[in-house]
Amino acid sequence: MANWAADALERARSKLEYSMLRAAFGGEEFTVAQLRAVYEAVWGTCLHRRSFHRKATGTPGELEDTGG
C-alpha cells in the first residue's frame, strides 16, 4: 500500500474512535449493522455483533433511533 494510503487509513481509524466521521459513511439514516460494516472495513476485522451493538448504542446522544 502506498504510504499516503496507509496514512489516510490510519487517520480514518483514529477519527472513527473520537468523532462522528462514521456517520459520513452511512448517509442520513443507517442501521447499526451498516455501521458495524464500516468499522469492519476500516479496521479489516470482524467484530462481535452484540458487543458492537451495545457499544454503539450505549452512548447517549451518539445515535438516534429512527424507528426504521
DSSP class of residue 44? Answer: T
Q: What is the per-residue DSSP string for 6-68?
A: HHHHHHHHHHHHHSTHHHHTT-SS--HHHHHHHHHHHHTS---HHHHHHHHHSSTTT------
pLDDT at site 57: 86
Q: How far from each other are the two terminal CA atoms of the chain, in whole angstroms? A: 39
Domain-embedded: residue 66:
no
**pLDDT at residue 1, rounded to an integer:** 64
- Answer yes or no: is 35 within a domain: yes
Residue 34 has a pLDDT of 87
Number of domains comprising the chain: 1
- Tens-place pLDDT, residues 6-64: 888 888 777 777 666 566 666 678 888 888 888 888 888 999 999 989 988 887 777 77
**25 and 40 in contact (C-beta within 8 Å)?**
no
Predicted pLDDT of residue 21: 59
- Whether residue 49 lies inside any domain: the answer is yes
* Domain extent for 40: 3-57
